[in-house]
Amino acid sequence: LAKTTQPISMDSYEGQEVNITCSHNNIATNDYITWYQQFPSQGPRFIIQGYKTKVTNEVASLFIPADRKSSTLSLPRVSLSDTAVYYCLVGDLRGGSYIPTFGRGTSLIVHP
């Protein structure tokens, strides 16, 4: 059963780089790692996805070590609008069905 572990909360200041690490010790060989962002009273939205090494898009970077047992979401130069809950997600294969399983997420608060 794939599980993820993230810090419950983090604090940062505007302009800083924020790194949120997720542990997924039991990740399956062909599982991807996906991160979502959620603002209050909204559904989560996709940020980034990767399988190994590094992935970068216009919003964030995702670093995945060779053993893939963890991953780190990196948000460059955060602003107040990056205050949100961030979820790390890996798949959970049950009886042949693939189920996206969310953890409890990391609540990021960005201070002025």
Per CB under 8 A, residues contacting other proteins are 30-32, 34, 36, 41-46, 49, 51, 87, 89-91, 97-105
**Rounded distance, CA 37 to CA 53, Å?**
21
| Residue 6, token pair as written in the block | 């993230």
Q: How far is the CB of 26 from other proteins (least distance, A)?
A: 16
Determine the straight-line distance between the first and last CA of the chain, rounded to whole angstroms: 40
- To the nearest whole angstrom, how small is the minimum distance from the Cβ of residue 97 to other proteins? 6
Q: Which is nearer to other proteins, 3 or 77 (CB)?
A: 3
Task: Pick between residue 75 and residue 90 the one whose CB is nearest to other proteins.
Answer: 90
CB of 7 to other proteins, least distance (A): 13
What is the torsional sign of CA 77, 79, 82, 83? positive
